[in-house]
């Protein structure tokens, strides 16, 4: 697990929106701008319609991310996540977040992720009530609140999200990172920060911008992040 703590407010660029023909240099660019958490969106064509990337992509960026003291933040949008933990941990994941909707053994999965030396996160879809994470809230390394329906980058932020973020924040022990993912940009980040989010995934708002490093810094400023 990378030494980068998740206690500080951070922006996590999502490589889903990066230019894959230049993945290494795109990652270097956001790290040079200050990024210390790099988000990897894993989709299986089953839990969500698209198929994106797997452990190979984690392995491809792992060395440069860790060399910068940064963390690889893996977001599993897959069914039966328990079957894949070993592969992602071996590939260099630092945080592994699964969806509460995708497993019936969430507590066991948290233990398995930690046994692999990674931080364990639980994510919920926009249509899933906050109660789905209540039982885990006291013993989880991060909670991810989807602010779009998972599956694609570039979707519009769901306006009711800040109220949901605030409700999750109330359930969590102080200091537990609360991640938001989907439609996060300079305009939407402040309301998430105010509601208690501390980790902000941004894909198209960073890698879709002409200068990803500058876009990173603008969102970091808007979110009050390092
Ligand atoms: C969506 C993914 C997101 C995606 C966000 O299903 O989980 O991480 O990369 O992309 P933007 O920031 O473009 O909404
Ligand atoms: Zn994601």
Pseudo-torsion of CA 88, 93, 95, 101, nearest 10°?
-20
Angle CA 104–110–112, to nearest 5: 100
- Residue 123, pLDDT > 90, answer yes
Instruction: Taking residues 83-91, report their average pLDDT.
Output: 98
The secondary structure of residue 94, as a DSSP letter, is S
CA-based end-to-end distance of the chain: 20
Is 122 within 8 Å of 97 (Cβ atoms)? Answer: yes
* Residue-level pLDDT at 3: 59
Q: Is the pLDDT of residue 56 over 70?
A: yes
Model confidence at 51, in pLDDT bands (50, 70, 90)? Answer: very high
pLDDT digits (tens, 9 = 90+) for 127-180: 999 999 999 999 999 999 999 999 999 999 999 999 999 999 999 999 999 999
Q: How far is CA 29 from CA 9, 56, 166, in A?
A: 20, 21, 32
Taking the CA of residue 183 as reference, the ligand 1 atom at the shortest distance is 14
Residue 178 φ/ψ, nearest 5 degrees: -125, 115
Among protein residues, the one with the nearest Cα to ligand 1's atom 6 is 150
Burial of 106 (0-12, 13-18, 19+ CB in 10 A): buried
What is the predicted pLDDT for the residue at 26?
98
pLDDT of residue 7: 81
Atom of ligand 1 nearest to the CA of 157: 14
Contact (CB, 8 A) for 46 and 79: yes
Mean pLDDT of 7-30: 97
Which residues have CB atoms below 5 A from the ion given as ligand 2?
Answer: 41, 75, 181
Decide if pLDDT at 4 tops 70: no
**Is 143:176 a contact under the CB 8 Å cutoff?**
yes
The answer, as to whether pTM is greater than 0.95, is: yes
Higher pLDDT, 7 or 83: 83
Say if CB 41 and CB 13 are below 8 A apart: no
- State the burial class of residue 15 (Cβ atoms within 10 Å of its Cβ: 0-12, 13-18, 19+): buried
pLDDT band at 2 (very low <50, low <70, confident <90, very high): low
The ligand 1 site (C-beta within 6 Å) comprises: 14, 16-17, 39, 41, 75, 148, 150-155, 181-184, 201-205
* Statement: residue 29 has pLDDT above 70: yes
């Amino acid at each position: 697990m990378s030494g980068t703590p998740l206690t500080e407010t951070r922006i996590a660029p999502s490589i889903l929106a990066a230019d894959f023909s230049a993945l290494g240099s795109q990652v270097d660019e956001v790290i040079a701008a200050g990024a210390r958490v790099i988000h990897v969106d894993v989709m299986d064509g089953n839990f969500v319609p698209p198929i994106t990337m797997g452990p190979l992509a984690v392995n491809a960026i792992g060395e440069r991310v860790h060399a910068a003291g940064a963390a690889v933040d893996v977001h599993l949008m897959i069914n039966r996540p328990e079957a894949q933990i070993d592969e992602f941990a071996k590939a260099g994941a630092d945080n592994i977040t699964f969806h509460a909707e995708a497993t019936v053994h969430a507590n066991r999965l948290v233990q398995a992720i930690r046994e692999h030396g990674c931080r364990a996160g639980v994510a919920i879809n926009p249509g899933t009530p906050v109660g789905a994470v209540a039982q885990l809230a006291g013993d989880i390394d991060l909670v991810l609140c989807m602010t779009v329906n998972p599956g694609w980058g570039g979707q519009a932020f769901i306006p009711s999200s800040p109220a949901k973020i605030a409700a999750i924040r109330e359930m969590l022990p102080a200091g537990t990172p609360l991640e938001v993912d989907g439609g996060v940009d300079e305009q939407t980040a402040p309301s998430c920060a105010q509601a208690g989010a501390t980790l902000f995934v941004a894909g198209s708002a960073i890698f879709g911008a002409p200068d990803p490093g500058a876009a990173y810094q603008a969102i970091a400023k808007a979110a009050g992040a390092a």
